């Protein structure tokens, strides 16, 4: 009942309230970011990786009225458990490749998946060059440079066409 004890308890209670408010603000920010990811990547959640859309931290930051660095901190080392599996939140942020069909950009992850499938279906005696892969992608409406295909192929650890050629005797 003395003043020192009362002041001590008031100070600790004030600190505890501040911590609870800070945690609640962080939770609200995370929910806003996750809701925006789900809204922007609805095609992925409904249909899979081929429907992943290009999305940047800046896009989300502008839409929820926060700074890009705040969104970056929110998604850094955080995961979303979805019906399609567990994904690092950064998974949903990718640059885009211009598309002539529908005018909407396509996620770089979608393009990488398409490259993987094109190479997987090629004739091993006549593997496709990067330029030939570009031609296939362009016929599908994707505007992509040969060096971008080479970069994505290397990221996917797919060897160059000369190394993929099967030797038949």
pLDDT in tens, 6-20: 999 999 999 999 999
pTM for the complete prediction? 0.68
Pick the range with the lowest mean pLDDT from 3-7, 82-86, 98-102, 112-116.
98-102
Determine contact, residues 52/110, Cβ cutoff 8 Å.
Answer: yes
Would you state the pLDDT for residue 169? 41
Tens digits of residue pLDDT in 22-53: 999 999 999 999 999 999 999 999 998 888 88
Q: Which of 8, 90, 92, 89 is nearest to 43 (CA)?
A: 92
Helix 130-139 × helix 146-155 angle, to 10° = 110
- How far, rounded to the nearest angstrom, does the alpha carbon of residue 40 sit from its chain's CA centroid? 11
Tens digits of residue pLDDT in 136-168: 999 988 888 999 999 999 999 999 988 888 654
Determine contact, residues 92/37, Cβ cutoff 8 Å.
Answer: yes
């Amino acid at each position: 009942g003395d003043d020192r004890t009362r002041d001590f308890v008031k100070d600790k209670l004030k600190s505890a309230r501040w911590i609870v408010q800070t945690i609640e603000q962080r939770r609200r920010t995370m929910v806003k970011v996750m809701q925006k990811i789900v809204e922007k990547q609805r095609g992925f959640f409904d249909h899979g990786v081929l429907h992943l859309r290009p999305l940047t931290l800046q896009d989300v930051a502008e839409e929820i009225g926060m700074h890009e660095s705040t969104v970056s901190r929110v998604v850094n080392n955080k995961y979303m458990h979805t019906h399609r599996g567990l994904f690092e939140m950064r998974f949903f942020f990718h640059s885009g490749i211009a598309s002539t069909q529908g005018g909407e950009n396509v996620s770089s992850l979608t393009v990488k998946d398409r490259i993987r499938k094109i190479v997987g279906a090629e004739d091993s005696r006549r593997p496709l060059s990067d330029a030939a892969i570009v031609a296939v992608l362009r016929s599908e409406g994707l505007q992509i440079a040969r060096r971008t295909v080479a970069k994505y192929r290397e990221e996917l650890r797919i060897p160059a066409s000369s190394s993929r050629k099967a030797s038949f005797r």
